[in-house]
């Protein structure tokens, strides 16, 4: 993404100081946007546990290590994972199938923003820099291209998110209109949902409500929820999730930054970008599951401002540790969280920074890029079973962004460096040992 001084991913450092903040109690009604604000610390808090259990790994003998604890807090199951149930031998693997969009004539991508799966399992790519949506079949061939630059019906400008409904209609978040455009399966514009917001990640529920992730949301209608619900007419109808409020804008948007995915029964899964927390909300908007996993680094407790050299300029940029990049759910209900195994250096981020003039016009853009094909050991998928227990890790050797899973295929959009879509096949692996 672009910003005046808004890197999406920075190399972080640990601070022992917690910023002051307020938190709203979790919403218990999907259709009502309400809830008092109360003081808290960043770490999860809750009432006295009602039930508690623990689990052990698959090692033999009585000395097998405990891998998780499980308790009930405020009606939700809380799982604290300390080690993978699979041990050091994953039971699944990802076999590469193809790479789409890297320099190919008809599929060449420029600053792609999102991917989505259509009703016949076609892949749709929101190619933001080219103001278009590409429809790609299961064989990797281009089926159709929709859109062109503009703000008229069927035209795209500053697009950020994409979902497809069962009829093949495309819902496209466009910051230029502060709303969501709805296109027919043929790419014709039929209506605009005037949400009055900037929109990032979103999912479409069976009720035809759009669940839209914050914090980009809060430039528009006031809501005290982390996730807002908009009707098919663009009206704010509800919300849920815990929103942390800060006086500092960088802390506000980074500590509330999330990725979301929808389950088969309209559950909404949330992965926090800068906190070691994944949550599941049921169709009524109630928090039913919260879990974590062991990390190799500490979680940032505040956002620091660090002087960075960008092109010919020096500027203050926010810095903190990142944990999760995106989340997806497979057909077996397993939860795949694309996660950071280490923090990226500033040069690895692939960040594009826009320098603005005092009048608000764009002066120049600088993009951080270390190579055209940027291999990395910074990312892996952290897998969880439907109960939130940590199964294990599957590493990938490239950067990543939004993830989609359909049947046995997993797609990863890499929007900053290679600007490609990586397609994998999910395969059962024989455990070692």
CA distance 413 to 130: 16
CB 397 within 8 A of CB 409: no
211-231: average pLDDT: 72
Length of the chain: 433
pLDDT, tens digit (0-9, with 9 covering 90-100), for 286-302: 999 999 999 999 998 88
Beta bridge partners of 212: 202, 228
Q: What is the pLDDT of residue 274?
A: 95
SS3 294: coil
Q: Is the pLDDT of residue 386 over 80?
A: yes
198-220: average pLDDT: 76
CA distance 338 to 325: 5
392-404: average pLDDT: 96
pLDDT, tens digit (0-9, with 9 covering 90-100), for 149-173: 988 888 999 899 999 999 999 999 9
Backbone phi, psi, residue 199, to 5°: -125, 130
Name which of 75-84, 91-100, 116-125, 244-253 the model is least confident about. Answer: 244-253
Question: For the stretch 77-87, what's the b/e string if a residue is b when 16 or more beta carbons lie within 10 angstroms of its beta carbon?
Answer: bbbbbbbbbbb
> For residue 356, what is the DSSP state?
E
Q: Is the pLDDT of residue 215 over 70?
A: no
Q: What is the pLDDT of residue 198?
A: 66
Q: What is the pLDDT of residue 393?
A: 96
Q: Which helix (H) or strand (E) holds 252?
A: helix 249-255
Q: Is the pLDDT of residue 97 over 90?
A: yes
pLDDT category of residue 216 using cuts at 50, 70 and 90: low
CA distance 380 to 6: 24
Q: Is the pLDDT of residue 53 over 60?
A: yes
CA distance 31 to 29: 5
Q: What is the pLDDT of residue 126?
A: 97
CA distance 358 to 356: 7
Share of the chain above pLDDT 90, in %: 52
Q: Is the pLDDT of residue 22 over 50?
A: no
Q: Which helix (H) or strand (E) holds 253?
A: helix 249-255
pLDDT category of residue 338 using cuts at 50, 70 and 90: very high
CA distance 432 to 204: 40
Q: Is the pLDDT of residue 264 over 80?
A: yes
Q: How many CB atoms lie within 10 A of CB 181?
A: 25
> What is the token pair recorded at 122?
């076609």
CA distance 191 to 351: 33
CA 108 to each of CA 6, 134, 142, 347, 357: distance values in angstroms, whole numbers, following the listed order: 26, 10, 11, 24, 31
SS3 26: coil
Q: What is the pLDDT of residue 347?
A: 76
| Nearest in space to 261 (alpha carbons), one of 388, 404, 77 | 404
Domains and CATH numbers, the chain: 2-44+70-428 (2.120.10.30)
CA 24 to each of CA 78, 97, 242, 381, 432: distance values in angstroms, whole numbers, following the listed order: 19, 44, 6, 31, 46
Q: What is the pLDDT of residue 369?
A: 57
Q: Is the pLDDT of residue 140 over 80?
A: yes
Q: What is the pLDDT of residue 33?
A: 28
> For residue 249, what is the DSSP state?
H
pLDDT, tens digit (0-9, with 9 covering 90-100), for 169-191: 999 998 888 889 999 999 999 99
Which of the two residues, 351 and 138, has the higher pLDDT score? Answer: 138
Question: For the stretch 8-29, what's the b/e string if a residue is b when 16 or more beta carbons lie within 10 angstroms of its beta carbon?
Answer: bbbbbeebeeebebebbebbee
Which of the two residues, 365 and 120, has the higher pLDDT score? Answer: 120
pLDDT category of residue 330 using cuts at 50, 70 and 90: very high
pLDDT category of residue 51 using cuts at 50, 70 and 90: low
CA distance 321 to 298: 8
Q: What is the pLDDT of residue 5?
A: 35
> For residue 341, what is the DSSP state?
S
CB 344 within 8 A of CB 10: yes
Q: Is the pLDDT of residue 24 over 50?
A: no
Name which of 8-12, 66-70, 368-372, 411-415 the model is least confident about. Answer: 8-12
CB neighbour list of residue 358: distance below 8 Å, 6 or more residues apart: none
Q: Is the pLDDT of residue 283 over 50?
A: yes
Q: CA angle, corner 427, sides to 423 and 433, nearest 5?
A: 135
> What is the token pair recorded at 353?
């920074």
CA distance 3 to 365: 10
Q: What is the pLDDT of residue 23?
A: 29
pLDDT category of residue 12 using cuts at 50, 70 and 90: very low
CA distance 323 to 337: 10
Q: Is the pLDDT of residue 227 over 80?
A: yes
CA distance 38 to 23: 5
């Amino acid at each position: 993404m672009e910003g005046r001084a808004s890197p999406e991913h920075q190399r972080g450092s640990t601070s022992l100081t917690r910023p002051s903040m307020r938190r709203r109690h979790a919403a218990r009604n999907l259709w009502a946007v309400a809830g008092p604000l109360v003081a808290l610390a960043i770490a999860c808090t809750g009432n006295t546990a009602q039930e508690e259990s623990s689990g052990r790994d698959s090692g033999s003998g009585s000395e097998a290590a405990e891998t998780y604890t499980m308790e009930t807090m405020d009606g939700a199951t809380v799982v604290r994972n300390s080690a993978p149930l699979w041990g050091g031998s994953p039971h699944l693997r990802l076999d590469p199938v193809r790479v789409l969009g890297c320099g190919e004539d008809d599929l060449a991508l420029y600053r792609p923003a999102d991917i989505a799966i259509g009703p016949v399992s076609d892949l749709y790519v929101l190619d933001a820099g080219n103001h278009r949506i590409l429809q790609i079949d299961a064989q990797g061939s281009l089926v159709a291209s929709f859109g062109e630059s503009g703000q008229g019906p069927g035209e795209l400008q500053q697009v950020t998110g994409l979902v497809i409904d069962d009829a093949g209609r495309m819902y496209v978040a466009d910051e230029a209109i502060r709303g969501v455009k709805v296109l027919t399966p043929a790419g014709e514009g039929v209506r605009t949902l005037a949400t009055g917001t900037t929109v990032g990640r979103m999912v479409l529920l069976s009720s035809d409500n759009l669940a839209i992730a914050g914090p980009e949301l809060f430039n528009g209608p006031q809501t005290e929820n982390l996730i807002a619900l908009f009707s098919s007419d663009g009206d704010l109808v509800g919300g849920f999730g815990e929103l942390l409020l800060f006086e500092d804008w960088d802390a506000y948007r980074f500590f509330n930054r999330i990725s979301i995915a929808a389950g088969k029964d309209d559950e909404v899964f949330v992965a926090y970008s800068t906190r070691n927390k994944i949550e599941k909300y049921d169709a009524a908007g109630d928090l039913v599951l919260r879990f974590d996993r062991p990390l190799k680094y500490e979680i940032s407790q505040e956002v620091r401002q660090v002087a960075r050299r960008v092109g010919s300029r020096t500027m203050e940029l926010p810095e903190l540790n990142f944990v999760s990049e995106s989340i997806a759910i497979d057909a077996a209900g397993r939860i795949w969280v694309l996660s950071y195994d280490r923090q990226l250096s500033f040069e690895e981020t692939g960040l594009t920074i826009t320098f603005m003039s005092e009048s608000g016009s764009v002066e120049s853009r600088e993009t951080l890029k270390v190579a055209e094909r940027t291999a990395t050991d910074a990312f892996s998928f952290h897998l969880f079973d439907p109960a939130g227990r940590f199964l294990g890790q599957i590493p990938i050797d490239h950067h990543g962004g939004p993830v989609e899973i359909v049947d046995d295929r997993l797609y990863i959009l890499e929007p900053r460096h290679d600007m490609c879509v990586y397609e994998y096949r999910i395969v059962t692996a024989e455990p070692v040992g």
